Amino acid sequence: MIDLGYKQAIGVYNYIDEQYVPGHSFDVVALKNNQTFSISAEDVLYEYATKPAFKKILDSGDYLYVNAHVCINDPKYVQRNSAGYATLTEYARNHIDECCLIFDVKAKPNARYGIEYYREAVLFRDAASGAHRWMVCTKSPRLEESMEEETSFYAEEGTLAHELAELKIAKEAGFISKQKYTSRIKRLCQDPLFNEEMEQATEVHKDFCMERFNEARAETKDAVMMLEQRLDFSPWVPDGFGTSDTTIITDKTLEIIDLKYGKGIAVSAIENPQMKLYALGAINQFGFLYDLETIVMTISQPRLDSISSFEMTVDDLLEWAEKEVIPKAELAFAGKGTYCVGDHCRFCKAKATCRARAEENMKLAYLDFQQPPLLTDEEVVEVLGSIDKLVSYAKDIQEFALSQAINENKHWPGMKLVEGRGSRKYMDENAVIEALTASGFDSDVIYKKSLNTITALEKQLGKKAFQELLGSHITKAPGKIKLVREEDKRPEIKASPEADFQ
């Protein structure tokens, strides 16, 4: 009851599953209305049976159901009593928002949409990060609803980088003690995904965020910076909320800074719907405290040496929310509207089996298989523009089918699983060296001596030191000429008949 906002329940004994549940405390902004940290065993079983993401979490052993809470399985939070039963530690009960999952309480009527809903209770959906997709393809959220979230090396790498960056900024800003920083940084640096490139990239991001914060403090003495701030933009998107990496507020200006650790695609902040939704969430939560006029949205992508910023007024942002967000959110929430195929499909969970995407790619494939002499110039251009999409789609289908065959024992008619060619490797390199040396082979035969690659040396030395020491010794050969769309950011070149296309 306290979780739900009924302060009069303080001091009253709480019973769940006919068992006493010790009291707990948490940050007052940790929960929204109709949310709780406590959950009965019956409801846990229901969530486990109906929510693949929740099932995956419990099966991993990373979380335990303890004292009517789903808690991180760590000695800091979970202990064993004299009878061997798991219980929450005193620290966990005093910091419940740090270690336990949040659940919605029950289905409830939505006044705006006039329908009943029950949002997935486990690990709130970040509606902002998918805004570039659902604001165009309004039917996609419901299509993805029953699909399990799949992780990847890049996602796990990005998560670690975000943790590292947050910790560095918190230490630099004086938000945490040196002792706490040392303890946490040691744990992060022991992660197999941690490397020198991540260390340097997060340093660059930390320096940029602190530079922006210091500038804000120069403008407004009591400027505020918040890290990993949960932002609620549900007045515009049903149950919409996400987490902003860095939020800086002065008397007149709000800045949202988002770290993108990936380096495959440069992400622009210009008219970026994810960043706009975060800004809406910040206005919703903190606008009554400040007379905000300007919104600055910045994406930091240190591995690409990219800083992208976009600025707009609060009035323009609110107008965008009313005209663009609300109508499309209504459609998406109700599962109505249209399917729309495009680049936004890249991160959709339904991308491999979406019929709309399949039909669109089949149209493109039909053109691809025509004989070039029979095509008009316009059709040739259409084929050129579709090749990458077709390759991407084929790869998505291939990966989906293989995953189903391996993990779900799915049999695809006319297909079978086989083992590919394995690569040879030494079982014990020291044993190999000893055997060759004992047989009289020289070191020139055993070892290969070569200069480290430019990329490897740049990572080891750092970009600045690398340029100072070796910049004058590096030459760059011309790149291979490509034919791309006009909107590509690279400058156009004029090719001569003698150009080498090999």
pLDDT tens column, 98-146? 888 888 765 444 443 333 333 333 323 455 667 777 777 877 777 776 6
What's the distance, Cα to Cα, between the start and end of the chain in Å?
71
Q: Which of 77-91, 355-369, 437-451, 457-471 has the lowest mean pLDDT?
A: 355-369
pLDDT band at 319 (very low <50, low <70, confident <90, very high): very high
Q: How far apart are CA 168 and CA 208, in angstroms?
A: 12
Ranges 112-126, 176-190, 451-465: which has the least confidence: 112-126
In sequence order, what are the beta bridge partners of 14? 21
Q: Which residues are CB-contacts of 48 (< 8 A; sequence separation ≥ 6)?
A: 54, 55, 58
- Give 219 or 358, the one with higher predicted confidence: 219
d(CA 476, CA 458): 15
CATH annotation of 153-334: 3.90.320
Per-domain residue ranges of the chain: 7-104, 153-334, 351-407
8 A C-beta contact, residue 272 and residue 257: no
Strand, helix or coil for residue 98: helix
- How much is the pLDDT for 105? 66
CA–CA distance, 368 with 382 (Å, rounded to integer): 9
Q: What is the pTM of this model?
A: 0.58
pLDDT of residue 311: 96
